[in-house]
Structure 1
Amino acid sequence: MPLRVPYRPLPVDQSDVVYEHGPDSRPRDDVPTGDTVELRLADSVTYPGTSRTVWVHVPAAYVPGEPASVMVFNDGWWYLDPEGEVRAGIVLDNLVHAGDIPVTIGVFVDPGVFEQCDDPDERKNRNVEYDAFDDRYVTFLLEEVVPLVQQHCALTDDPDRWAICGGSSGGNAAFTAAWLRPDRFRRVVAFLSSFAQMPGGNPYPALLPTVPRKPLRVFLQAGHRDLNWNEPEHNWLAENLRTAAALAEAGYAVRLVLGDGGHSANHGGVLLPDALRWVCASGPADPRR
C-alpha cells in the first residue's frame, strides 16, 4: 500500500522559504516535561584551554538505573532552545512519550571557547572541532562528555542505540564521529552539513566506495539555496548531494531530504521528529528500509 502525501504547491521564490513546525515540535499538555541538567566543562584534555557547557535532557519516562538510548547534539543550546528552530528537548519528550523512539537521553554539547581571548573569532574553537577529518572530537565526546553524563543516568552499550546530530559544521562533525567510531555511534542526523569547508576538502564521496560498508544509518538534509549553491567551488549543496549519492551507491541506509531556502536551521528543525523516527528505527542499519 503506497503512502499518499497531500498536495502542496512548490514555492516559486526559493530565496526566503520558512517551513512551519509540526505538532511534535511543540509542548503538549498531556506529555510530561523531562528534566534538563546543566553541566560545565571548565577545561579539556582533547582541546586544552577550552571550556563549554553541556546539557543533559532526561525524558520523564526514564527509569533510573535502566540503560537508555543516547543522542548527542552538537551546538548544544542552539538545538535545545525551546524557542529556537530545532527544539530537540521538546521533540524527545513527545516522541518518547508516544513510543515512537526508545527512551533517549539527549546530550547537548556546546563547542569550546577560549575564555581568555578577547577577540570574538579567536575565542571560538567550533570549526577546529567540527570540520576536522580526525578522531579528536569523537574522542572528546567519549572520554570527556559521556562519563559526565553517566554520573546522572545509565546509557546502553548497544551502538545501534547511540545517535549523533548536528547542522552546518556540526553536521559533518556528526557524520565524522560515526564514520570513525561506528563501534559507538551508528545513527546520524546531519542538516546542511559543511562538507565543503572541511580542511583538505570533502573526503567522503571518494572514500565511501573504497572501504567495507559500516553499520551506519544516516539522515541527511540539504538546502537548494545553501551556501554557494550555484558556484563551482565550496558549494554546500553539491557536497551534500555528492555525499548522499556516495552513501547510496555504497549500499548504506541513507535518507536525503532536499528543501528550499538557504543556510538556516529552520528546515532541519522542522524535520527533526521524522528524522528521529527514521534514524532510530530498531535493529541494525538496513539499506532497504
Structure 2
Amino acid sequence: MRRYWVYVPTVYDPARPPNLLLFQDGQRAVNPRGSLKVPAVLDQLIAARTIPATLGIFVTPGNRSEHYPADLGMQNPDHRAEEYDALSDGYARMTLEELLPAVARRWRFTDDPKRRAIGGTSSGAIASWTVAWRHPEAFGNIISFIGSYTSIGLALGSDGSPVTYGGDTYPGLIRKSPIRPLRIFLQDGSSDLDNEHGNWFLANQQMLKALEWANKRADEEGHPGPRYDVKHAWTDGSHSDADGGAILPDVLRWIWRDQQPGS
C-alpha cells in the first residue's frame, strides 16, 4: 500500500501537456512543515515564469499493511529500503507501468524525457537514479539530494558472497557502461552519514567522479552520442533534507534551463 499526491499547476492546459516532476518520499516532499515544500516551490517558479508549467507527482514508498497508516507523518513507510535501495527493475516497473498510467488517466503530462525529472533525497535519490539509469527513455533528468549510493541494498549469502548488490556498485557501472542521455544534479554534505553501509559524502563524490570520467573518456576516444550533463553542490550539512530544500529552486531552474516557460 502506498499513497501519492498530484500537483496540478494553475496554468495547466491539457492541450499543452506540462513538464513532469516525480519526487520520492511524497509524505516529506509535500509537508508544509518540512524542508522541501516542493508544491510551494513549483507555485513560485511557475508563477514567476522561470520554469515551464510542471505537473508534480509525490509518491511514498510502500507500507506492509492493508491500509496506509494515517499517523506516519514525516516518518518513512516500512517497505522503503526494499524498494528504494534495490538495483533491480522492480520499482521502475511499478513507476512506469502502474503509477504514471494511473495519473495520466486524469491529467496529461509530457512524454518527452528531456521534460521529465525524477528526484528524491537519501534512498529516494538512489531510487530516482535507478529508474532513470534503467529507463532514460522515460526520464532524462535526475535530482539527487544526500543520495544513498552505499551498500544498504547489499545482502550476503551464507558463504559471504553477494546475493544482491548495493548502490556503491553504481560508480563502477557508470565507468563501464554506455553513457545515458541524462542531466543530473548531485547534492551532499560533508557531515553526512558514515556507518556500516558506507560514507555518504564519499559515495556521492565517487558518483560525480565516475560521471566526469565517463565524459572525459568518451571525449578522448571521440565517441559519438550523449554526455552526462552533471552539476553538484557540496555543502557542510548532515543527512537532512534541509540543504537540498534550500537550493531546490535553483536546481529546477538549472534542470529546465533550455526551455522557455511557455514551452
**TM-score, length-normalised on structure 2?**
0.82
Of residues 195-204 and 158-167 in structure 1, the stretch that sits farther from structure 2 once superposed is: 195-204
The answer to whether the Cα contact below 8 Å between 2:188 and 2:237 also exists between their aligned partners in 1 is no
Are positions 1:275 and 2:259 aligned together?
Answer: no
Aligned-residue offset at 1:282: 2.4
Counterpart selection for 1:133 from 84, 87, 95: 87
Residue by residue over 1:183-204, the C-alpha shift from the partner in whole angstroms, topping out at 9 and shown as x without a partner, is: 0011000100111123223122
Aligned to 2:220: none
Are positions 1:253 and 2:229 aligned together?
Answer: yes
Query: Within 5 A, what are the aligned runs for 1:156-235?
Result: 156-196=110-150, 197-199=152-154, 200-201=165-166, 202-228=168-194, 234-235=198-199
Shift of the 233–87 alpha-carbon distance from structure 1 to 2, 3 Å rule, reads: closer
Aligned to 1:106: 56
- Residue 142 of structure 1 aligns to which amino acid in structure 2? L
Shift of the 232–78 alpha-carbon distance from structure 1 to 2, 3 Å rule, reads: closer
Any unmatched runs of 5+ in structure 2? 155-164, 216-227
The answer to whether the Cα contact below 8 Å between 2:82 and 2:153 also exists between their aligned partners in 1 is no
The answer to whether the Cα contact below 8 Å between 2:140 and 2:182 also exists between their aligned partners in 1 is yes
Distance 1:181 1:187 in 2: 11
TM superposition outliers: structure 1 runs of 4+ over 6 Å:
none
Distance 1:175 1:116 in 2: 29
Aligned to 1:240: 204
Aligned-residue offset at 1:66: 2.3
**TM-score, length-normalised on structure 1?**
0.75
The answer to whether the Cα contact below 8 Å between 1:65 and 1:153 also exists between their aligned partners in 2 is no
Distance 2:169 2:127 in 1: 13
Distance 2:56 2:197 in 1: 36
Aligned residues between the structures: 230
Sequence identity (%): 40
Counterpart selection for 2:18 from 68, 72, 78: 68
Aligned residues: CA RMSD: 2.1
